Structure 1
Amino acid sequence: MPKTPYRIRLFTVAAAFVGLMSAGCSSDSYDTGDGNYSYLTADFALVTTDASAALVAASTDDGASLSFDRPYKAGWTAKPDTVYRALVYYDKKPTEKVALRAVTQIPVMAVHKPEDVKNMTDAPLGVESVWKAKNGKYVNVALLLKTGKMDDSSQGQTIALVCDSFSDTGDGRKVADLRFVHDQGGVPQYYTSRVYVSIPMAEFSDVDKIDITFNAYNGTVRKSLSIK
C-alpha cells in the first residue's frame, strides 16, 4: 500500500462530504425516517482498486468486507490493483453490494528519525482524538490545523511523525516514543480544519505501547496507547 512521504503537504483541508450531508438534511428525510441518507455510514478502511484504478471494494477497521455496487473513480487512485487507506461513506443496507457515496484518502504516516525533520519548524497544532483501530492495524489521529486562503500556490503545511527513542517500562514492556512535527509553511491561520492520518502498527510489531507527543496550541499533549 502506498505511503505518504515523511512530510505531508496540505494546501487545503476540505470536508469531502459537506455537500452530501447538507443534501440529506431535508424535511422528507426526517418525516419518513428513511430518506436518501438514512443509511449513511462512515468507516476507516483499506480500499482496493481494479484494473482500471477504480475503487471496487473495502475492508473496514471493524472487520467488515464491502463490495461496491459500481466502480468508483477518485482523483487520487491512479494505480490499478492497489490498496489505499481511506475514509469511506456508504449506505449500510442488508444488501450484497453497497452504494459508495464518497471517499477521502487518509495519509499513512511513515516513521522517521529526528534528523529527517531537522529543517522543519515545530509549529503548534490541535489534537482532537487518538484511537486504535478495532482490528489493531492502525492508530488513527484527528488533527486540527489552522489554515486559510493562500496567495502563493507553493505554500503548504507539512506534518511528520518522528520516533525519538525506544524505552522499557521496567516490567519488560517496550515503549516507542513518537512525536508529531508540524510546519505551518506560511499558510494563514484564519480557520480550523480537521485532518485524519493513520499510523501503521506493522512498524511496531515488537512494541507493547506507544507514547505520542504533540506541540499543541494549549501546550504539550501526550497520548499513550497499549497496542498489544
Structure 2
Amino acid sequence: MTEPAYLHATRAAYDTVAADYAELLLTELAAKPLDRAMLAAFAELVQPAGLGPVADLGCGPGRVTAHLHSLGLTAFGIDLSPEMVAVARRTYPDLRFDHGSMTALDLKDGSLGGIVAWYSIIHTPPEHLPVIFAEFDRVLAPGGHLLLAFQVGDEPRHLEHAYGHAISLVAYRLSPDHVAEQLSQAGLVEAARLVREPTEREKPSQGQQAFLLFRKPEGS
C-alpha cells in the first residue's frame, strides 16, 4: 500500500530536525505548569488502575515519555521518525522506544492502560483523524485514558523552516469541540479539558493550546 504523502512529509521533516529539536525542547515542560498538571492528573488516573503500560505516541526525542516515567508510569514511546527514535534511545537508554505509525499500531487490542499524544496529531490532515482515533480506541484497555495536546485554531500553518533547518510540513490547528466530537464517535468519553493561553515563548505564532483527557468506558 502506498504511504500517504503527509506521513512521508512528517517523517522527512522530523528526521531532518531531530537533534536540534531535542536540544531546544529538552526542558520545555519546566516552564509550563498547566501542561505538567494535565500529565500529572493523567498519571494519577492511570497508575492505580493497573490496566497496562502507557504509550507516548509520536514521542519524538522522548522527553514526555521520560516525564511519564518520572511520574511512576510504565511508559514507552513510538514515533514515525527513525531519527527521533534514535535520539530518544541515546538520551534515555533505560526506556523503550519503537518506530511506528499511529495509523496502524503494532499493539494488541486492549493492551494499553493509557495513551499520550502530545502535539503528535497536528500533522495529520483533520479528515484522517478518525482513523487514528479508532486505533487509539482499539489498543486502549477498557477503563484506560487518553491525553491529547494540540494547538487551537482553524487555519493550517505551512512550515518551511524550523529548528534551524529547511523543511516542508503542514501543522494543523484544531477545534477542541470538533476533536472531542470525533473522539466520542470513536467510543471514548470525555473526562476533562483545558484550553490555556500561549506562554511568552509560544507567542505570537502558537495561539491557544488545548489538552483533552478522555476515557474508554468499562465493558467496551
User: Which interval holds the TM-score relative to the shorter structure?
Assistant: under 0.3
- The alignment's TM-score, normalised by the length of structure 2, stands at 0.23
More helix per residue = 2
More strand per residue = 1
